[in-house]
Each structure stands twice: as C-alpha cells, then as structure tokens.
Amino acid sequence: MAPIISIRNLTKSYANGFVALKGIDLDVEKGEILALLGPNGAGKTTMISIVCGIVNPTGGEVLVAGHDVVKDFRATRTMIGLVPQELTTDQFETVWNTVSFSRGLHGKKPNPAHIEKVLRDLSLWNRKDNMLRELSGGMKRRVLIAKALSHEPEILFLDEPTAGVDVTLRKDMWRVVERLRESGTTIILTTHYIEEAEEIADRVGVINGGELLLVEDKTALMTKLGRKQLILELAEPLDRLPDCFSGNGLSLEPDGNRLIYDFDAQKEQESIAALLTRLAAQNIHFKDLSTRQSSLEDIFVALVGGAR
C-alpha cells in the first residue's frame, strides 16, 4: 500500500539563513503511530508545519495521500488535524462553539453528532458550555485535540501533546491516541518524553540538527541497539580481571566490587551459564546478580550525543 505521507529530500532554510531541515526522507504508513523524538530546535515543528501547509518548504516534496502539500493545499489540509504546542484559542468562547467553528474552517458541513462524539471521547462533554478560560490547562489541551478532530481528519499531528501535563492526564491522552488508532487514524506525535514514545508508538524517528537520524520499528530498534547487562556483585573485591576473561564483554568496575557482562543480541557470545561456571572455576564468587536492559532513552542519548 502506498504511504499516506511521503516526504522526499525535504529542506527548509528560514529567511535569516538558518537551515532547519537538511534533506528529510520519510514515509508514514496509514494507521500507524509514529513518534518523532529530538532535542529542542531539532526541526520537528518545522517538518510538521510543512506537511500541514503552514510553512513553505525550500526544497523537496511532500505528498499526502498522493497530493502535493503546496500545489494541492486544500485537499491535503482537510485530511489533516493538527494539535499545536501552544494554546491559540479564544478564551471567551465556549468549548462547543470553538470545536464546531474549527470544523467549519475546514469547509465541512455542521455535524453536531460528530462534535458530541469527539467531546465525549475526550471527557469534555460536561464542559461543552464552559468558556475556555474556565478550564484547567489539561482540559484546554483536550480542547485543542477536539478542535483538531472536529473535521474527521485521517491524519493527526500532535506536537508535544503532553508537555507540562500531569501523569494522569498524560495516560488519558495515551488512551485517546490508542482509540484513534483503533479507528484507523494515522498519528504522528513529537515528544520529549521518551517513555511516551516507548509506550504508544509503532515506529520511532529521531531528528537532530535538521536530519532524520533513523526511523525504525520500536521493537526492532530496541533489539538492534538495545544492550543487556548482567551485573554480578562480587563476594570479595578483585584487583584485576583474570586474562582468560578478556575480550568477551566482561569488565570489572574500577572499585573491584562488580563485574559487568555486556551481552549483545547481534553477537555470538558464551552463555551466561558457561560464564558463571568459568568464574566459579577461577574461584570468583558473587553475592548478588541483576540484569539491566537499555531503554529507548539510553539509545536516544547515544544517538543524539554521537551526532553532535
């Protein structure tokens, strides 16, 4: 199946000469959740803004369901819902009017039943007659999502949807995203919270300095780049690691109290059982043992750190 979003060699230089995107290639499949991770200023919002037709690209091409986002702006924009980072809504308007008005902006006929469903799904129904200024910050964010869904878009962009919201609301938002996915909506979200990507994304893209460093299936990424460690707390400290253990991923911590065995899913290594037997044969005993698996956060820090 053709990707729903196809980005080819996308570049963006702002008027002041700053190059925010340096040739991005990315395909987004229909129905997936893609999380874009990257530090501040990486170019995430710029990329989203181009796909949504808010910012013009300098070079390259973006197709949404086969339509060019510049030449065929109207067709592509109605397919997309955008939840921006900043609250830009009239504080003196009611929730119902704000969300209904958004639908009209996309040239869609009124559909009160759809607006009601969106507000109910986002637990905003009992607030529909409240003015925005009467809502908490978290509820205002839900209103932004409701606005973005008002015109029944196939694609939803969420730019930092949970920045600054509490844990309960964050989990609520994840549930909303999950329900949208079940209904077939394609979701692209940017986030600083790696646990968010780990929790809800199918694929993860890492952007830094205007370049897409990688985009990969989340589970495959964790298997490929993730490392596992076995940590052995020694019964007696060691001065040095016997030579027979050198070069197989085993190392002694500087204080001599712990042995760390790095095992790599890609490499052929001796089994843990064999290693423990060899250690015992060398009279090296341990009082405790634990394992540690690198998280998406470790992988992200290694990638972004390495690219700097």
Ligand X SMILES: Nc1ncnc2c1ncn2[C@@H]1O[C@H](COP(=O)(O)OP(=O)(O)OP(=O)(O)O)[C@@H](O)[C@H]1O
Q: Which residues bind ligand X (CB under 6 A)?
A: 14, 16, 18, 20, 38, 40-46
Pick between residue 86 and residue 243 the one whose CB is nearest to ligand X.
Answer: 86
Name 268's Cβ contacts closer than 8 Å, sequence gap at least 6. none
Tell the residue number behind the tokens 């089994």, with chain if given: 271
Residue in 195, 263, 206, 188 with CA at minimum distance from that of residue 232: 263
Give whichever of 121 and 159 is closer to ligand X, judged by the CB atom.
Answer: 159
CB of 76 to ligand X, least distance (A): 19
The least CB distance from residue 28 to ligand X, in Å, is: 17
CB of 304 to ligand X, least distance (A): 12
Q: Which is nearer to ligand X, 39 or 138 (CB)?
A: 39
61, 215 Cβ separation under 8 angstroms: no
Q: How far is the CB of 47 from ligand X (least distance, A)?
A: 7
Quote the tokens at residue 73: 């702006």
Query: Which string of DSSP letters, residue by residue, matches 53-103?
Result: TSS--SEEEEEETTEETTTTHHHHHHHEEEE-SS--S-TTSBHHHHHHHHH
- Nearest CB to ligand X, comparing residues 41 and 107: 41
Report in angstroms how near the CB of residue 272 gets to ligand X at its nearest.
41
Nearer to ligand X, 20 or 95 (CB): 20
Cα–Cα distance, 156 to 298 (Å, whole number): 28
Report, in Å, the least distance between residue 95 CB and ligand X: 26
Distance CA 145, CA 22 (A): 30
DSSP letter string over 93-148? Answer: SBHHHHHHHHHHHTTPPP-HHHHHHHHHHTT-GGGTTSBGGGS-HHHHHHHHHHHH
Residue placing its CB nearer to ligand X in the complex, 206 or 284: 206
Nearer to ligand X, 43 or 161 (CB): 43
How far apart (Å, rounded) are the C-alpha atoms in residues 242 and 37? 42
Q: Give the burial class of 57: count Cβ atoms within 10 A of its Cβ; 0-12 exposed, 13-18 middle, 19 or more buried.
A: buried
* Residues making up the chain, counted from first to last: 308
Distance CA 100, CA 269 (A): 61
Question: In the complex, what is the shortest distance from the CB of residue 62 to ligand X, in angstroms, rounded to a whole number?
Answer: 15
